[in-house]
Amino acid sequence: MTRASLEHAAFHTLLVTEAEDRLAVQLNRPEVRNAIDAQMVDELHTVCAYLEASPKVLVLSGIPGGEDSKGIFASGADIAELIKRRREDALAGINSGLFDRIARLPMPVIAALDGYALGGGAELAYAADFRIGTPSLRMGQPEAGLGIMAAAGATWRLKELVGEPVAKEILLAGRILTGEDCLRVGLVTALVESTELLATAHALADRIGRQDPLALQTTKRVFHEPREAHPEADNLAQAELFESPAKFERMQAFLDKRKK
């Protein structure tokens, strides 16, 4: 997907803002607390296609929603659509396929989480490389109470992120984590006030942006290789980076600076 095609894309469920080194995407269905519907899934696929062709940091957040306009990430999948889905829809992996694609984007993904991040909204956040939260964050998986399961990554990503005991509390006992809980179990790396959330996310994107893009993309790819692929995957990736122009330029700049 070209730059022009993204600029002219007609987004109805997202607000998309592009900078030189990043793409900021806000979930924009405030009337239903940013519930994830089929159109949002399609539009996020459009975003992914663009970022796969033109790698940039992705900053994900949600437009404030509800009558009180409180902060919110995503309240989950749209139940009005979900109730109509049948066996074939489950096998199609509608949300799981999207979230896996987001997790595999070449450059890091930052999720800025405020208010509700429940169900599919939480699973979308798990697919990010970084999660930043607020004290008002409420994160969990209410699916079993609705007669289904969290099938878009929570049964395995959540265990990797917080460990089996906490993951089972969330998945099997319906525990909803507060922002403080999320920080304590490592589900978010920082907790800031809602007014500071996006600035904090973009400050992290700034730090990421100071790294070499090829080194970032290579590191992320190798990080997610299965254990049995290491150390060969590391050696092959490092061999590629050792020949990159950026390696010589950045190392020479470091040496020149040290001489001063």
Nearest residue to 15 (alpha-carbon basis) of 54, 55, 65 = 65
H-helix or E-strand containing 132?
strand 130-133
Rounded CA-CA distance 7/179 in Å is 35
Rounded CA-CA distance 46/40 in Å is 10
Annotated catalytic residue within 67, 143, 160, 169: 143
Q: Is 196 a catalytic residue?
A: no
The CA-atom distances, in angstroms, between 251 and each of 26, 218, 225, 232, 243 are 37, 18, 27, 24, 12
Do 138 and 175 meet the contact criterion of CB atoms below 8 Å apart? no
Burial class (CB in 10 A: 0-12, 13-18, 19+), 257: exposed
The 3-state secondary structure of 171-216 reads HHCCCCEEHHHHHHHCCCCEECCHHHHHHHHHHHHHHHHCCCHHHH
Annotated catalytic residue within 18, 52, 88, 123: 123
SS3 110: strand
Token digits for 170?
A: 């969330």
Q: Is 143 a catalytic residue?
A: yes
Say how many CA atoms lie within 13 Å of 234 toward its Cβ.
6
SS3 85: coil
Catalytic positions, please?
123, 143
